Amino acid sequence: MSRTSAERGPASTPQDDHGSGFYIYGLVPADVEVTPDAHGVGGETFPVTLIRHREIAALVSEIDLNRPLGTPDNLVAHERLLNESAAEVPVLPMRFGAVMTDADAIIDELLTPYHDEFLEALGELEGRTEFVVRGRYPEKQVLQEVLDEEPEARRLRDEIRALPEEVTRDARIRLGELVNQAITARREADTEALVDELAPYSVAAAVREPTHERDAANVAVLVENERRADLERAVDEFAKRNAGRIEVRLLGPLAPYDFVMAPQEGEGAWD
C-alpha cells in the first residue's frame, strides 16, 4: 500500500469513535484546495476538507451519524458545494448520501483501488461542466392545442360537461390519457430537436426522465468551457423559436452528475 503521499484531513477522527463518519461529496484532483467559505452538510460545525491519495482526493466533511440526512439544507449544501467546485476544477460528483466510516477506509477502499480509473475520468472532465436545459409547456396553451387538434378530446370534454361528475370518471381518465399521449409525443419531438440543436456545442448529452407531466424537455449536456457562450446562444435560439409554447430554463454550470463513470465500464459515459 502506498500511503507515503497520503494526507489526512484535519477532521480525521480516532477509529473507535462510532458517532461520526465521513460524508463524501465527490472526487477531485489532489492538487486543489478547499476555500474557507466552502460549506457542506455539516455547516460550520464540520468543515469541508480533502482526503488525498496520490493524485486524487475525496471531498469530504465529518458527519454526526446520529442525525438523519436529507433536509432541504443538506440537499442544497451538497449540490452547491459540488457545483461551485465544478466551476473551478474537474469533479466526479457522488450521489447524495455517501458516507464512510473514516479517513483510512476512504483511502483503502475507495481512493487506492480505483485511483487510475478516477484519475482518468477526472482528466476527461478537465475544462468541461454540465448544463441542464429544462422546458415546460404552459398549461393553458398546451391543453388548448390538444383540444384544437384532437376531435376525440373535444368530444370527451363535451360528454364530461353534459353529465354529472360521478358517472364521468372513465371519460375523464380517457380524456386525460389522450392529453398525456399528445404531450408525450410533443415532448419526444421537442427533446429530440433540442438535443440536435445543442449537439454542435456539447461533448455529450443525456436525456433525463421528465419530472413533471408538462415537461417539454429535460436534457443534460456536457460542455467545454470555451463553448459555453455558444451553448447559451443555442438555448436562447430554441427558446425564441418556441416562445409562447415552451418555457425554457438553463441551469448551470453544474457538476457533471449525468456524465460520471460506472465501475467496470472503463472510459465513462460520455464516449
Partner 1 sequence: MSVQPVSGGVAERPSPTGLADVIDTILDKGMVIDAYVRVSLVGIELLTIDARIVVASVDTYLRFAEAVNRLDLAESGQGLPEIMQNMTQGASAHKTKGVVQGVLEAAEEKLHDLGGEREREPSRRRRRGEED
Residues 193-252 that bind partner 1 (CB under 8 A): 208-213, 215, 218, 220, 232, 235-236, 238-244, 247-252
Residues 163 to 192 in contact with partner 1, rule: CB under 8 A = 171-177, 179-180, 184
CB-wise, 8 or 157, nearer to partner 1? 157
Smallest distance from partner 1 to CB 258, Å = 5
Site residue total, partner 1 (CB under 8 A)? 95
Cis peptide preceding 68, ω within 30 of 0: no
Q: Compute the least distance from the CB of residue 62 to partner 1, in Å.
A: 12
Residues 82-141 interacting with partner 1 (rule: CB under 8 A): 82-83, 92-102, 105-106, 108-110, 113-114, 132-134, 136, 138-141
Instruction: Kindly list the distances between the CA atom of residue 190 and the CA atoms of 8, 118, 207, 234, in Å, as whole numbers in the listed order.
Output: 49, 35, 12, 14
Q: Are 261 and 93 in contact (CB under 8 A)?
A: no
| Cβ-contact 48, 63 below 8 angstroms | no
C-alpha cell at 250: 438553463
Which of 240, 271 has the CB closer to partner 1? Answer: 240
- Contact status, residue 168 vs residue 159, Cβ threshold 8 Å: yes
3 counts as binding partner 1 under rule CB under 8 A: no
Residue 88 CB neighbours (<10 A): 12
Residues in CB range of 229: below 8 A, 6 or more apart? none
Which of 120/213 has CB closer to partner 1? 213
24-38 b/e (C-beta count within 10 Å ≥ 16 → b): bbbbbbbebebeeeb
Region from 2-10, 21-29, 42-50, 222-230 binding partner 1, contact rule CB under 8 A: 21-29
Q: Which is nearer to partner 1, 32 or 69 (CB)?
A: 69
Q: x/- contact string, 44-83, with partner 1 (CB under 8 A)?
A: -------------------x-x--xxxxx--xx-xxx-xx
Beta bridge partners of 250: 133
